[in-house]
């Protein structure tokens, strides 16, 4: 039964000619599925509708070939050929009574038009904002007239596809409309540039054009970046962000407000808290009577109620929390608060879009698999003839495998050698800024403790003899991985034996012991050949403990993969603020007790730096001793009643926590099913049936 405190979240809200069934609004977010995988895209959005989100939007939908964002896989609305794929999405959303929204976008100079090969358009001549050698040309009056027509045509196609809410988008520094609004980008001297009113002109015209195109058959939403976090150089919530909304206050049916650029809007939990955008968006309702949508990585229903009652928002906007738990609204409605799979704010989801593949989620292993594997985030088919399973290792893969297998009806025994659950999740969650990552462990423990067919044991190291003696037919080894201490990684493919000439700590030492594991005196050097978050974390721990720290990497920056999780700049900026010296483009060449020799990756030029303690953050090795021992005893399996032994998670291949979680879930979904190694384990899209 729903707690009456949350009744306000389930009130219907009028938006223009329509009524949203509740206050849960899945704002536009990328999925990596888009127009190339339309069935997968539709199923993913449809499951969110089933989960209770009142309004569900597409990702950005390109409106014309001059806004081709290839190879990114967003929605596409260039012409009538795109309507069937868009209709799939709208129909899937409508199936469960939700409103379907589509975000119409022309990206201006944000795209180099790699596929269409058309020249990008911008208010003024501008370089593409990536690293392609492409420049946008300034739009003339004909181009502006064309732009307005393209928005109208796209809006009409969206209505034909069945969408209820049509977005006009000016956010994230990714829209030509925002580029016209911006003094940084708009240097025109005609009626579309210069003064605030002139820079507002095209935005106002497009809003009016789209309004006329959709009439009273759909609601008009405007998504606006009200602060770019650039101070006077950009749009601010105290300045022109407020002025834009005041000038257009009643023109849309609903305002969707956020920060620009994307890395500001979707900050990770390492650098921001739940509701971090409120100080920027709180003013909006004071200058418009229209309902307001806003985001802030809200996962707590109490926080949601607070922002509604305080008059900050009318709708709880969400992207990442709706990915982590598509059924978040239903769980609140049904009084199942403890069952909410809370977003951890790690942004592994954004890495999917940034690497042009279907997204993944650290908390929700079913995302991206809804259509191609037929996975549902809440339901999993019971086993026709459940057979007992032993899961060895209580980290993310082991916890998820045990939870999902028990949900399927198997008798599950989960044995963890250590004194705490969570494995690497618990250890990493103790690092600076990563406390929210503990939710991966906590949710699974909460689910397991409510299942009578799951037995859990800590401080239970097992040997091959133990496992054979138990007579449990199926065993999954989720024994994790350990960081290497010999320098082998991306750049050094062979052990660098000279490393041992001085003191060496692995990330495992620091994860286990914290800053206390680092000797009290002498410079600390982090050698980061992992290129994600761990090298920066090690440097941060050491610097916060007062050590003299240098981070060395063969890469051109700290944690380059973190660009895909939108946090690389914040990581490097934070290290610099802590006094960490950063030496990019450097390999290891020699070591003494108190020094380290480096060589430039380009020139080979060598240098020597002081180093009392070296922390190599390189590759990891699976902890597969138990696997090897059981393989050596295969002749004894049949007599012991052992039929299968499977490695999962980092024990199979070290990767992200999301990958470990997915691996554990995959094991449970395919339990006792034979696999065909020559056949793709999932459905593939047949676009001929869609377009």
Residues 6+ apart with CB under 8 A from 169: 28, 60, 103, 104, 105, 175, 177, 222, 223
Whole-angstrom distance, CA of residue 485 vs CA of residue 502: 12
Classify residue 71 by burial, with Cβ atoms within 10 Å: 0-12, 13-18, 19+: exposed
Catalytic residue, candidates 167, 169, 192, 671: 169
Nearest Cα neighbor of 267 from 436, 41, 45 is 436
Phi, psi of 254 (to 5 degrees): -155, 140
Rg (CA), the chain: 27
Degrees to nearest 5, angle at CA 673 with 667 and 675: 90
Task: Count the Cβ atoms, other than its own, within 10 Å of residue 40.
Answer: 23
Phi, psi of 569 (to 5 degrees): -60, -45
Catalytic residue, candidates 265, 353, 486, 624: 265
Catalytic residue, candidates 30, 343, 611, 651: 30
End-to-end CA distance of the chain: 44
Task: Count the Cβ atoms, other than its own, within 10 Å of residue 115.
Answer: 12
Please report which helix (H) or strand (E) contains residue 570, including its range. helix 568-577
For 602-632, give the secondary structure using H, E and C: CCCCEEEEECCEEEEECCEEECCHHHHHHHH
Residues 6+ apart with CB under 8 A from 531: 490, 553, 555, 559, 560, 561
Residue pair 102/75 in contact by the 8 Å Cβ criterion? yes
Active site residue 662: no
Catalytic residue, candidates 64, 106, 172, 665: 172
Whole-angstrom distance, CA of residue 306 vs CA of residue 9: 10
Active site residue 167: no
408: DSSP letter: T
Nearest Cα neighbor of 11 from 304, 222, 251, 224 is 304
Please report which helix (H) or strand (E) contains residue 595, including its range. strand 595-600
Whole-angstrom distance, CA of residue 466 vs CA of residue 457: 14
Active site residue 189: no
Active site residue 172: yes
Task: Pull the structure tokens for residue 243.
Answer: 């002025």
CA 476 to chain centre: 28
Query: How many Cα atoms within 13 Å fall on the side-chain side of residue 161?
Result: 35
Q: What is the dihedral of CA 46, 351, 441, 337, to 10 degrees?
A: -30
Whole-angstrom distance, CA of residue 506 vs CA of residue 616: 6
Residues 6+ apart with CB under 8 A from 541: 431, 432, 510, 514, 515, 518
For the annotated catalytic residues, the residue numbers are: 30, 169, 172, 265
């Amino acid at each position: 039964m729903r707690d009456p405190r949350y009744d306000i979240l389930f009130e219907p809200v009028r938006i223009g000619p329509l009524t949203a069934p509740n206050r849960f609004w899945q704002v536009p977010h990328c999925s990596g599925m888009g127009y190339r995988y339309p069935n997968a895209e539709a199923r993913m959005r449809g499951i969110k509708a089933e989960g209770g989100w009142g309004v569900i939007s597409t990702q950005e939908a390109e409106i014309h070939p001059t806004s081709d964002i290839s190879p990114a896989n967003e929605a596409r609305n260039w012409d009538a050929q795109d309507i069937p794929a868009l209709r799939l999405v709208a129909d899937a959303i409508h199936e469960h009574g939700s409103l379907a929204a589509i975000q119409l976008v022309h990206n201006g100079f944000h795209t180099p038009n790699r596929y269409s090969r058309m020249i990008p358009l911008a208010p003024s001549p501008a370089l593409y904002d990536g690293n392609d050698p492409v420049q946008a040309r300034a739009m003339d009056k004909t181009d502006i007239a064309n732009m307005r027509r393209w928005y109208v045509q796209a809006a009409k196609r969206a209505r034909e596809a069945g969408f209820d809410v049509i977005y006009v988008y000016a956010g994230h520094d990714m829209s030509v409309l925002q580029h016209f609004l911006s003094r940084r980008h708009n240097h025109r001297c005609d009626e579309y540039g210069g003064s605030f009113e002139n820079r507002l002109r095209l935005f106002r015209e497009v809003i009016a054009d789209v309004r006329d195109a959709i009439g009273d058959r759909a609601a008009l939403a405007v998504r606006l970046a009200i602060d770019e976090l650039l101070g006077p150089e950009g749009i601010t919530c105290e300045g022109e962000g407020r002025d834009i909304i005041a000038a257009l206050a009643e023109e849309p049916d609903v305002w969707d407000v956020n920060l620009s650029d994307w890395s500001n809007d979707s900050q990770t939990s390492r650098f921001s808290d739940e509701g971090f955008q409120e100080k920027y968006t709180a003013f909006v309702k004071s200058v418009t009577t229209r309902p307001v949508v806003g985001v802030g990585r809200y996962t707590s229903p109490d926080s949601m109620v607070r922002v509604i009652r305080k008059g900050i928002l009318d709708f709880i906007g969400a992207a990442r929390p709706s990915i982590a738990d598509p059924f978040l609204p239903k769980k609140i409605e049904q009084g199942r608060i403890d069952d909410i799979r809370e977003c951890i704010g790690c942004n592994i989801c954004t890495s999917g879009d940034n690497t042009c593949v279907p997204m993944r989620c650290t908390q929700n292993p079913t995302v991206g698999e809804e259509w191609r594997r037929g996975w549902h985030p809440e339901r999993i088919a019971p086993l026709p003839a459940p057979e007992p399973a032993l899961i060895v290792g209580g980290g993310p893969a082991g916890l998820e495998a045990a939870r999902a297998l028990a949900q399927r009806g198997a008798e599950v025994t989960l044995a963890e050698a250590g004194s705490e659950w969570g494995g690497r999740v618990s250890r990493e969650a103790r690092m600076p800024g990563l406390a929210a990552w503990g939710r991966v462990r906590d949710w699974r423990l909460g689910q397991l403790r409510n299942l009578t067919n799951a037995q859990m044991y800590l401080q239970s190291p097992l040997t091959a003899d133990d496992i054979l003696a138990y007579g449990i037919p199926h065993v999954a080894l989720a024994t994790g991985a350990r960081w290497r201490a010999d320098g082998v990684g991306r750049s050094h493919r062979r052990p660098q034996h000279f490393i041992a000439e001085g003191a060496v700590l692995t990330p495992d030492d620091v994860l286990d012991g914290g800053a206390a594991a680092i000797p009290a005196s002498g410079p600390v050097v982090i050698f980061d050949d992992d290129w994600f978050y761990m090298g920066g974390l090690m440097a941060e721990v050491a610097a916060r403990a007062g050590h003299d720290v240098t981070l060395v990497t063969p890469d051109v920056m700290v944690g380059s993969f973190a660009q895909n999780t939108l946090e690389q700049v914040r990581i490097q900026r934070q290290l610099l603020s802590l006094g960490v010296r950063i030496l990019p483009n450097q390999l290891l060449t020699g070591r003494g007790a108190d020094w380290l020799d480096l060589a430039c990756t380009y020139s080979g030029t060598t240098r020597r730096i002081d180093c009392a303690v070296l922390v190599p953050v390189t590759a990891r090795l699976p902890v597969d001793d138990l696997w090897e021992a059981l393989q050596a005893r295969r002749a004894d399996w049949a007599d012991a009643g052992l039929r299968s032994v499977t490695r999962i998670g980092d024990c199979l291949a070290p990767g992200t926590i999301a990958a470990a979680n997915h691996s554990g879930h995959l094991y449970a979904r395919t339990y006792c099913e034979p696999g065909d190694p020559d056949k793709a384990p999932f459905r593939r899209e047949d676009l001929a049936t869609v377009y």
